[in-house]
Structure 1
């Protein structure tokens, strides 16, 4: 909020505002299309697909819920909800951690592995089409470097 006597905020210039609006629109469109593709092909939401991928990347296909929360791009309550939905569908199982009574371990079931293997090729193809192929190799390299720089800077704020 601007008050008299305060310094004027550093408003975005036309180029910065245009880039910001393009970033928001692009992200929204890609998210919508990826969400729809995953729903159509596998019945998974993007958040659920992400949980399955994170578990698949972990040793033995399992992680403590706290580790999964740290790796996932969703809130802890959102993660708990998604894991519960995946558990109901038989794709994930949860069990008590044998070394910590407060800990819970989530792991992929055989069905979870199968659903992920079936969903991954279509997902990868769509991500390539929407995210990678629209830019030249040079443009993509610069874009990827810029995103990495931003992510590194923002990670300290993500908590």
Structure 2
């Protein structure tokens, strides 16, 4: 392949369109979450991810799994967890069965904020996708997202009880 290869050019244009779509969506959601709830997109994503933990096997996420789910480095995720813990939205605790494990739960205050922010996030995502669909360069990507069948509304969170077994969490977070 050369720099002028049509396939390479098409790939670069597709990547550029995908990057543009992501940036527009994230920027729109960020503005509305900040204005309405004092949350960044990353903070919302972290709260949302951690709210889905459960008491069953693999229900508690290790920090690396959390980092992967919110698309941040482990150190950035740890700093984000610390900021949200300082705000009273998260709490950390040692796993009672493996003292090396440190887990994070969403506090009742964090769950309440997440519930208030969820409709804002979902509406902002729908609005941003609708706006992007009007752009001929982005419309195929929006259609692909819609055809993937991924629901835009989030499922309700489930609170996690502290004393549950701390077996390593499953590989992926959805």
Query: With structure 1 as the length reference, what TM-score do the two structures score?
Result: 0.72
Aligned to 1:92: 90
Contact 1:93 1:109 in 2 (8 A): yes
Q: Per-residue deviation at 1:39?
A: 0.9
Measure the CA separation in 1 of the matches of 2:92 and 2:4: 48
Instruction: Give the equivalent residue in structure 2 for 1:25.
Output: 20
Q: Is 1:80 aligned with 2:81?
A: no
Q: Is the 8 A contact 2:21 2:132 kept in 1?
A: no
- Tell me if structure 1 keeps the 8 A contact 2:90–2:110: yes
Higher RCO structure, 1 or 2 (CA under 8 Å, sep 6+): 2
Structure 2: tracts of 5 or more residues without a match: 135-139, 151-174
Q: TM-score, with normalisation over the residues of structure 2?
A: 0.67
C-alpha distance in 1 between matches for 2:125 and 2:82: 26
- Per-residue deviation at 1:29? 1.6
> Structure 1 regions of 5+ residues with no counterpart?
1-7, 149-159
Greater helix share, structure number:
1
Tell me, in whole angstroms, the C-alpha distance in 2 between the residues paired with 1:35 and 1:24: 16
1:28-107 matches, within 5 Å, as 28-59=23-54, 63-107=61-105
**What RMSD in Å do the two structures reach over aligned CA positions?**
3.0
In the TM superposition, residue 66 of structure 1 has moved relative to its aligned partner by: 3.6
- Of 112, 121, 124, the residue aligned with 1:123 is 121
* Residues in 2 aligned to 1:131 and 1:90: alpha-carbon distance in whole angstroms: 33
2:61 partner SS: strand
Question: Cα deviations across residues 88-137 of structure 1 (Å, max 9, x unaligned)?
Answer: 0000000111122221010010100010000000110111111257549x
**Aligned-partner SS, 1:63:** coil
* Count of aligned positions: 139
Deviates more, 1:83-92 or 1:53-62: 53-62
C-alpha distance in structure 1 between counterparts of 2:64 and 2:99, whole Å: 13
